[in-house]
Every structure is written in C-alpha cells, then in structure tokens.
Amino acid sequence: AFEVVAARSGVTVGVPAGVTIAAALREAGVAVNLSCESGVCGTCLVDVLEGVPDHRDSFLTPEERSAGDQILICCSRARSATLVLDI
C-alpha cells in the first residue's frame, strides 16, 4: 500500500493492493479521466510532483518512464511511500 496526495484537489488517499490510483481517487471524489483503463491510451496521464512512480503502462516512452514526472493512474503504482500528483 502507498499514499497518494492529490495536490490540486487537496485530498490524500491510501491505495491498497488490488486498487488502482484512479479508483482510489475517484472514490474520494476526485474527478479522474479514464478510457482504456489498461495503460495504452494515455487518457489518465497525470503529472507527478513528488515521489517515484512504478510504471505499469505501455504508453510512456523509456525516456518519459525514467524521467518519472508523469504517471498513468489507471494502472501504474508507486515505489515510494507517497506520490504527490498534480490532480
């Protein structure tokens, strides 16, 4: 499990195993854009302000992946205890 801070929304949510970041945020009332929900379309892309993403998508390029400043919240997770997102 890890924690996601939705900086613009002023909401912090815990994301347990088996729950996506997008689902946890939506549950907390944060408006989330979703389409494919499987990491291929890019609709759910959000900027990462702090923390280290664990990329599980097949959308970002290797360069974008290693830059670590964007995440696809329908499927990717966190390597750090907390992720701060621009949403």
28 vs 55: CA distance, rounded Å: 23
Q: In Å, what is the CA distance from 65 to each residue of 10, 26, 55?
A: 26, 24, 7
**Shortest spacing between CB 40 and ligand FES, in angstroms:** 6
CA–CA separation, 47 vs 53, rounded Å? 11
Least separation in angstroms between residue 26's CB and ligand FES is: 12
Where does this chain bind ligand FES (CB under 6 A)?
34-37, 39-44, 57, 59, 72, 74
Rounded to the nearest whole angstrom, what is the least distance from the CB of residue 68 to ligand FES in the complex? Answer: 17
Closest CB to ligand FES among residues 33, 82: 33
Measured between alpha carbons, how far is 49 from 55 in angstroms, rounded to an integer?
15
Cβ proximity to ligand FES: between 2 and 59 the closer is 59
